Structure 1
């Protein structure tokens, strides 16, 4: 299974904001850090704000920060939210001579569930529990 770029950027934004949560982070700062388009990040931040993961502040001194503690942000839940409930393959409506006897869709659904179940064992705080990663994520701004 491959995660979408949107989910990848979602995780990166949360990593950055969580480590720098003692202040407001900006889209430009995050875009510069990861070398990602500000427009891509704007969509990610908007979705994270709507979902309650981020708090945004407008204006000249605005920015973003976590809206809940990192240990209360579940990685599995976040991935399901950003990826959606799409099956890995969807045989409905296909004209396949194996449809009535094939177990592939059910097997892949079990694998997808195991993938999400594994991610659900971790919080954002768990993902950031690495001093080298924390040091790298600490912004030099300000």
Structure 2
């Protein structure tokens, strides 16, 4: 299964906002677009959907931007993927109206793939946006590893900073 670009970008917006929660100024669409090399107009549509779903608070004009409407640990990944993905039919037999497979009556593929899809979504249901941006232990660096943590900085590769 492959996530659509829409879902990928929606997750990036939410992650960027989560990683930027400590800032005084809200995150701008232009900032996210530049950080990820994504079309600003495409992101605007995604932000509108996320705001309509109650995930982002948006403010227009000078000093405006977007912020998460609720804490990142309350935004469930499984819910986001279900909201933004339009098709979970892995093969044609998942859709009774379009199914032309001659083996459907004695094939177990649909059952196996249905179980796999449920397992995939169950993993996402167990995670939040906060889990995607939380600091992680640095790679083994001897005694200093315990005094440092990985921190994701929007627009930059992961960097190590002292905590």
Do the two structures share a fold, i.e. TM-score over 0.5? yes
- Structure 1 distance, partners of 2:78, 2:54, is 16
In structure 1, which of residues 134, 137, 141 is the aligned counterpart of residue 154 of structure 2?
A: 137
1:125: which partner in 2? 130
> Which has the higher Rg, Structure 1 or Structure 2?
2
CA distance, structure 2, for counterparts of residue 52 and residue 89 of structure 1? 32
Runs of 4+ in 1 over 3 A off after TM superposition: none
Q: Higher strand proportion, which one?
A: 2
Contact 2:33 2:43 in 1 (8 A): yes
The root-mean-square deviation of aligned C-alpha atoms, in Å, is 1.7
2:120 alignment partner in structure 1: 115
Which residue number corresponds to residue 67 of structure 1?
Answer: 69
Pairing 1:96–2:114 present: no
Unpaired stretches in structure 2, ≥5 consecutive residues? 136-148, 157-163
Displacement of 1:9: 0.3
Q: What is the CA–CA distance in structure 2 between the aligned matches of 1:133 and 1:12, rounded to whole Å?
A: 16
Structure 2: distance between partners of 1:49 and 1:60: 19
- CA distance in 1 between counterparts of 2:8 and 2:151 reads 16
Please say if residues 20 and 138 of structure 1, whose CA atoms lie closer than 8 Å, have aligned partners that are also in contact. no
Task: Indicate the structure whose relative CO is greater, using CA pairs within 8 Å and at least 6 residues apart.
Answer: 1
| Residue 8 (1) aligns with residue 8 (2) | yes
Q: TM-score, normalised by structure 2?
A: 0.78
